[in-house]
Chains A and B, each alone.
Chain A
Amino acid sequence: MSKLIRNNAIVQDDWAVVQLASPAEETVRKQAGKVVIFKLTGEQAASAEQIAGTNIPPGGKVIVPLAVWQARKEELAPRLAAGEVGLWLETFELVEDLVASVPDLNSLPVIAVHFPRPVDGRGFTIATMLRTRFGYRNEIRAIGDVLRDQLFYMKRCGFNAYAIRADRSAEEALASLRDFSEPYQGAVDNPLPVWRRHARVAAAHAVTVGRTPASHEDEVD
């Protein structure tokens, strides 16, 4: 079980993340002798059999794969109306497809983004677009390979919940949300770049420019 950080606190997670049924036969593509790990943006996430075979718990709050939701909307509609359905998408899936799949995006209490690896940066853009382009106001949760060292960036891109890998400390992860106190650029959490947040000094008032004063030449290190 992974631990959930939500809005700067470690909380009990009352949502179950529904996994896609595994494909009938593993289709492993190879390129230059290496197994391909990343799918390309816009690729098909799951086959019809996988979608049909995905087991959704009969009750409780569920976060279902986008592909399953798209195909099995009718079945899930009453539960969505009860506020008990969230969606998750892979980083290669299009955020536009998710948005198009629900009449009101904010009827979803949670949208989760699955990170296959910590370095798949597409998830950062997905969250950014959900917040800034599509006006999503509820929980955006990072799931998958979520490590504390990426959390600060996730927070800035609009994530507010993180399913920390079970083998890592959630307390430490929480602390890492404060790694930097005053970032340069605007992002979802604060759209203003630093120069619109603070009056910064120009050169005339800055410290010595150019020639090193003699007294500084032998700095004691």
Chain B
Amino acid sequence: MTVQMIKDHLGLEVLTAGDLSREVTGCYCGDLLSWVMGKAREGDCWLTVMGNINAVAVAVLTDCACIVLTEHAALDEAAKLRAEQQGVTILTTDESAYALAVRLSAVIA
């Protein structure tokens, strides 16, 4: 399932578009960057409320497929710019991480 398909299936909104044809192979939920850094895997869809420039760096270094900002958490202007430069896809939803993860598990299982 690609990022584009996940976006369409779950009704997510695109804030920055990287490679939407990337395959999503898993999911990680978390806001503490060192936890995410140590635990998230390549190809994960990362659900977080952390919309700052450091989150973008973590997404790049862990090779996440995309970031989803849950509960419409704010995306900093600097983070948006950096994500665009680095080709990181950031999506947004009004749902909580739990609610979205439950729906996501049904489509990537």
**A-B interaction:** no
> What is A's interface to B at a CB cutoff of 8 Å?
none
> What is B's interface to A at a CB cutoff of 8 Å?
none
